[in-house]
């Protein structure tokens, strides 16, 4: 049996006031003068009946919401990005925004933009492959529907949107420079076979290629799935690849590959230098200790402030923030 849901009319009846008065009191409308005893009577009636006002109705009246819409994640984020997004959620909550995560699997950028626009968010914050899919047309659909700010996180700018650029090429470039400085000339670059990581892995590969330009070093793309079997097979044909260095995408793939190389009797770093990225603690626990690229992301608070500023000033021209910092962390594996 369903209990009937109390309405503002029920509250009005119990408190002996009009529905308008109920609405004014519960929405804290300060422009209407209502005596404190009446306010108290309305609040007590609402509590007794278990009535709470409806945010959708309020949002219609206000003409906009405090909603920040983000696409639902398509892949499990690395610890680095999970941490950032958690922080961002918190920071947005503290600024009184509500974060809505919205799935849009298999939709085109246009379809997704129209579905997002229907929710009338104050801001849309996209990242990774979503940013690319949205495109200038998607941004336009969102803005015309009244979205105050569109912010894209990722590799490239999208016309009309604020850009928080995280250029993954810089990660590859940093790893490439380090391996080259260590005298490596036949360098492999791990490209994970798991779907959804291309937005990170391909720019990283490109970054290594750029580092090698004009050095005479040879760059080889090395596909690897995140399982022991795939790593063992790769290690089994490693000597034929004749690589003297490898940038293994991140620390987790580096750990997997380094273990397989060691099990195959390949010396790290003597025969092959191995470099990861992310600077996870586990890399320091390995023997040899893993060299890595430390990636500095903005804090969730900084991102939230970029969103908030954009919402406050919807007419401002698109800003570009370059936020990815990289530092090589040489340890024993290179």
**Rounded CA separation 93/87 (Å):** 10
Residues 11, 46 contacting (CB under 8 angstroms): yes
Instruction: Report the site for a second copy in 140-199 (rule: CB under 8 A).
Output: 140-141, 143-146
Distances (CA, A) of 317 to 108, 193, 267: 26, 39, 54
Min. distance of Cβ 271 from a second copy in angstroms?
Answer: 19
Min. distance of Cβ 143 from a second copy in angstroms?
Answer: 7
Interface residue with a second copy, options 9, 20, 32, 55 (CB under 8 A): 55
Q: Is 111 in the site for a second copy (CB under 8 A)?
A: no
Looking at beta carbons only, is 72 or 181 nearer to a second copy? 72
Q: Say how many residues touch a second copy, by CB under 8 A.
A: 64
Instruction: Report the site for a second copy in 203-242 (rule: CB under 8 A).
Output: 226-228
**Rounded CA separation 311/307 (Å):** 6
58-66, 127-135, 204-212, 271-279 -> range binding a second copy (CB under 8 A): 58-66
Q: Is 202 in the site for a second copy (CB under 8 A)?
A: no
Interface residue with a second copy, options 100, 132, 232, 324 (CB under 8 A): 100
Interface residue with a second copy, options 75, 132, 232, 266 (CB under 8 A): 75
10-18, 73-81, 180-188, 302-310 -> range binding a second copy (CB under 8 A): 73-81
Closest alpha carbon to 314 in 126, 165, 124, 106: 124
DSSP string for residues in 236-252: HTHHHHT-SEEE-SSHH
Q: Is 1 in the site for a second copy (CB under 8 A)?
A: yes
Interface residue with a second copy, options 40, 94, 309, 322 (CB under 8 A): 94
Query: What does the H/E/C string look like for 77-136?
Result: CCHHHHHHHHHHHHHHHHCCCEEEEECCCCCCHHHHHHHHHHCCCCEEEEECHHHHHHHH
Q: Is 59 in the site for a second copy (CB under 8 A)?
A: yes
Q: How many CB atoms lie within 10 A of CB 216?
A: 8
- Name all contacts of 298-301 with Cβ < 8 Å and 24+ positions apart: 298/84, 298/164, 298/323, 299/84, 299/87, 299/91, 300/84, 300/85, 300/86, 300/87, 300/88, 300/89, 300/90, 300/91, 301/87, 301/91
Q: Is 299 in the site for a second copy (CB under 8 A)?
A: no
Q: Is 267 in the site for a second copy (CB under 8 A)?
A: no
Residues 210, 173 contacting (CB under 8 angstroms): yes
117-125, 167-175, 177-185, 325-333 -> range binding a second copy (CB under 8 A): 117-125
Binding site for a second copy (CB under 8 A): 1-3, 5-6, 49-60, 65, 72-73, 75-77, 79, 82-83, 86, 89-90, 92-94, 98-105, 114, 117-120, 140-141, 143-146, 226-228, 252, 255-256, 259, 281-282, 284-285, 314-315
């Amino acid at each position: 049996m369903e209990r009937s849901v109390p309405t503002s009319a029920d509250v009005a009846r119990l408190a002996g006031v009009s529905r308008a008065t109920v609405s004014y009191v519960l929405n804290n409308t300060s422009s209407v003068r209502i005596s404190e005893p009446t306010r108290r009577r309305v609040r007590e009636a609402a509590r007794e009946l278990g009535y709470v006002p409806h945010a959708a109705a309020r949002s219609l009246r206000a003409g906009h919401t405090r909603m920040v819409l983000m696409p639902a994640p398509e892949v499990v984020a690395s610890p680095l990005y999970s941490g950032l997004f958690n922080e961002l959620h918190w920071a947005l909550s503290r600024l009184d925004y509500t974060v809505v995560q919205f799935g849009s699997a298999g939709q085109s950028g246009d379809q997704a933009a129209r579905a997002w626009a229907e929710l009338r968010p104050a801001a849309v914050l996209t990242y990774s492959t979503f940013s690319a899919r949205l495109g200038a047309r998607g941004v336009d659909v969102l803005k015309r529907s009244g979205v105050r700010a569109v912010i894209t996180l990722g590799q490239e700018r999208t016309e009309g949107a604020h850009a928080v650029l995280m250029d993954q090429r810089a990660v590859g470039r940093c790893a490439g420079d380090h391996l080259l400085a260590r005298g490596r000339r036949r360098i492999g670059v791990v490209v994970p076979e798991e779907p959804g990581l291309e937005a990170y892995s391909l720019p990283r590969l490109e970054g290594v290629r750029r580092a090698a330009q004009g050095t005479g070093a040879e760059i080889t793309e090395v596909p690897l799935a995140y399982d022991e079997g795939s790593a063992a097979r790769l290690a089994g044909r490693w000597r034929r690849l004749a690589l003297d260095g490898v940038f293994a995408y991140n620390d987790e793939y580096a750990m997997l590959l380094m273990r397989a190389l060691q099990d195959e009797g390949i010396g790290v770093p003597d025969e092959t230098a191995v470099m990861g990225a992310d600077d996870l603690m586990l890399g320091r626990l390995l023997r040899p200790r893993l060299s890595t690229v430390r990636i500095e992301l903005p804090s969730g608070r900084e991102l939230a402030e970029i969103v908030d500023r954009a919402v406050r000033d919807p007419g401002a021209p698109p800003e570009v923030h370059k936020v990815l910092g990289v530092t090589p962390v040489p340890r024993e594996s290179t």
